[in-house]
Amino acid sequence: MRIALAQLNYHIGNFEGNLYKMLQAVEEAKRQGADLICFGELATCGYPPRDFLEFRDFIRRAEEIVDELAKHSYDIGIIVGSPAVNPKAEGKDLHNSGFVLVDGQRIHQAKKTLLPTYDIFDEDRYFEPAHEFHTFTFKSKRIALTICEDMWNIGNENPLYTVCPMDEMMPEGPDLMINISASPFDYTHSQERVDIIRQNALRYKLPLFYVNNVGAQTEIIFDGGSMAISPTGHVLELPYFQEIVRVFDLEEVQQNTEDQLQTKDKLPLIYQALILGIGDYFGKLGFKKAILGLSGGIDSALTAVLAAQALGPQNVRVVLMPSEFSSQHSIDDAIALAKNLGLIYDVVPIQHSYKGFTETLKPIFGDLPFDVTEENIQARCRGIILMAMSNKFGHILLNTSNKSEAAVGYGTLYGDMAGGLSVIGDLYKTEVYALSNYINRDEEIIPLNTISKPPSAELRPNQKDSDSLPDYDILDVILFQYIEKELGPREIIAMGYEEELVRRILRLVNINEFKRFQTPPVLRVSSKAFGMGRRMPIVGKYLN
């Protein structure tokens, strides 16, 4: 038997577009001599559809796509993920299903059993889990079909679920396993995924064919990495971040004794993920051009590079907005980067608009001293200019804040925190430096002075980030332990960090939740990004 894995980039709710992609893949699989083609989890409607699942018409249209695919299943079997109505009166209204289509008929329906409700997942909100477990037969082979999380409940000291679907199906004597998935990217997950899928093959001593989605759905990025695994745990892994249809011979997979794995290096993965995230955000929403403020600092420089790579330099416009506090070297660095990338750039000084606001407020503020208020006025002047240009020219504003700043509230609401998409909001400042150096590995794209100079918002004379924040080498480690590792203050202090510093940083994280609640979606590249994967109360008292 020859099995095709169709690693495709779906578009949520774009039923016609998703069907077109799948039909093209069916034809390609036929040309490669496949007997069976496998599409990903919820491929008909795209993953995650969230509350679209509550619309009856949405489910009806997904069902129509399954019916249409069935018409093309006479020369090849098709496995496709789709939401399906739960026919029983009790339980949730839907199942997260995988349909097997053969000779125009639905010969089998697998229902997802393990419904993740953690981090970015909320499947228990919509779906009823499977309560029965059966294999199906195709081409004289008995096949166990599972869906994404159903493979993730083995090899854990503290299993999250009380049932393992494959254990339930093993008495039926399957010859192979197929898992259709929508497994999101983070820079540690690709290795974890290989490890867990390999554990399944070794546990059940069966070949396993795993197909994953690729592409970005707003903040969530899917990296692909579909694979075929031998019963001895040897992995043939498909490329990351690209659509591909690959056909595997079952017998060859069973006998395979070599691994063919993609690189798991952190920086190249993040680089590719962010470029894909920007490109799909614009492409799937029908946007063409981006705009951003270019300060001469490293955050905006990195964002500009990523945007130019994703959209093409002709589609990225940058705006330099110097104030009386801006250094000449920052202006020069920003212009040098714009020229290096071939970007359209404008210089729009903000001195007059800033002065206009301070003069307007002078009767109210009187002789009160310069403080963060005036700093924020500058940031909001820049935000107004960027949004005005965005409105006038139809460009989407990219936010350039990093995760360290967002964590401790080192940013101005309705100013530098504005935008339609946060590009590097899941990168700590130290990771921003590392990725910038990675981009410069072969040639100087980001000016070296931008990378080497002390970071500064340049909102008052001689300002440096270190005036308000600990050094990023220390700050980022403490933030990582609190945000990603979910350690409390006592645990972090026990690691050797000063108690007063730890409690100050953690308090800043908590009291600035209200700011993060109002920021744009953040492209997720870590295991715990700000946004839907980290749901914190705004008015919580913890650590305050």
Q: Using one digit for the tens of pLDDT, what is the confidence trace for 360-381?
A: 999 999 999 999 999 999 999 9
Give the H or E element holding residue 37: strand 36-38
- Taking residue 362's Cβ as centre, other Cβ atoms within 10 Å add up to 11
- Checking if the pLDDT of 462 tops 60, the result is yes
What per-residue confidence (pLDDT) applies to 466? 75
pLDDT reading at 526 higher than 90? yes
Measuring CA to CA, which residue among 194, 199, 196 is closest to residue 235? Answer: 194
E-strand stretches of 105-230: 105-111, 136-138, 141-147, 176-181, 208-212, 214-217, 220-223, 227-229
Catalytic pick among 148, 149, 237, 403: 148
Q: Report the C-alpha gap between 249 and 337 in whole angstroms.
A: 49
SS3 state of residue 143 = strand
Is this prediction's pTM over 0.85?
yes
What are the two backbone dihedrals, phi and then psi, of residue 91, each rounded to the nearest 5 degrees?
Answer: 90, 180
CATH for the stretch 270-466: 3.40.50.620
Q: Looking at domain 2-264, which CATH architecture does it have?
A: 4-Layer Sandwich (3.60)
Q: How confident is the model at residue 156 (pLDDT cuts 50, 70, 90)?
A: low
Domain ranges across the chain: 2-264, 270-466
Mean pLDDT, residues 77-90: 95
Q: What is residue 129's predicted lDDT score, i.e. its pLDDT?
A: 96
Distance of alpha carbon 58 from alpha carbon 35, whole angstroms: 30
What digits encode the pLDDT tens for the residues 438-455? Answer: 999 999 999 999 999 888
Instruction: Look up 41 and say whether it is catalytic.
Output: yes
Residue 148 annotated in active site: yes
- Check residue 158 and give its pLDDT: 64
**Are both 2-264 and 270-466 of the same fold?**
no
Q: What is the pLDDT of residue 274?
A: 98
The tens digit of pLDDT for each residue in 106-124 reads 999 999 999 999 999 999 9
Adjacency order of strands within the sheet including 316-320: 344-347, 316-320, 290-293, 396-399, 421-422
pLDDT at 214: 98
Residues contacting 235, CB < 8 A, separation 6+: 194, 197, 198, 227, 228, 229, 259, 260, 261
Residues 6+ apart with CB under 8 A from 69: 19, 22, 23, 26, 78, 80, 101
Known catalytic residue: 355?
no
At residue 312 the predicted structure's pLDDT band, cuts being 50, 70 and 90, is: very high
The token pair at 430 is 């130290």
For the chain, give the percent of residues with pLDDT over 90: 91
Within 8 A by CB and 6+ apart from 129, the residues are: 111, 112, 113, 114, 115
3-state secondary structure of 377: helix
Q: Which residues contact 392 (CB under 8 A, 6 or more apart)?
A: none
- Return the minimum-mean-pLDDT range out of 47-61, 136-150, 203-217, 322-336: 322-336
Phi, psi of 323 (to 5 degrees): -120, -175
Tell me how crowded residue 160 is: count the other CB atoms within 10 A of its CB. Answer: 12
Neighbouring CB atoms inside 10 A of 157's CB total: 4
Q: Using one digit for the tens of pLDDT, what is the confidence trace for 224-235?
A: 999 999 999 999
Q: Exactly one of 21, 38, 45, 112 is catalytic; which is it?
A: 112
CA 123 – CA 117 distance, rounded (Å): 6
In this prediction, residue 162 has a pLDDT band, given cuts at 50, 70 and 90, of confident
Pick from 167, 101, 87, 90: nearest CA to 133:
167
Longest CA–CA separation in the chain, Å: 87
Distance CA 103, CA 540 (A): 57
157 pLDDT band (50/70/90 cuts)?
low
Q: Which two tokens stand for residue 343?
A: 């970007």
What is the tens place of the pLDDT at every residue in 476-519? 999 999 999 999 999 999 999 999 999 999 999 999 999 999 99
Measure the CA angle with vertex 223, ends 221 and 228; round to 5°: 150
Cα separations in angstroms, 337 against 436, 448, 450: 12, 10, 9
Q: Give the residue-averaged pLDDT of 131-157.
A: 92
Q: Which of 21, 41, 128, 515 is catalytic?
A: 41
Least confident of 156-160, 174-178, 267-271, 414-418: 156-160
Q: Which range, of 154-163, 187-196, 208-217, 447-456, averages the lowest pLDDT?
A: 154-163
Treating both helix axes as pointing N-terminal to C-terminal, what angle do 298-311 and 429-439 enclose, rounded to 10 degrees?
50
Rounded mean pLDDT of 313-336?
Answer: 92
E strand or H helix at 247, and its extent? Answer: strand 244-249
Q: How far apart are CA 325 and CA 515, in angstroms?
A: 25
Q: Give the rounded percent of residues in the chain with a pLDDT score beyond 70.
A: 99
| Mean pLDDT, the chain, whole residue set | 95
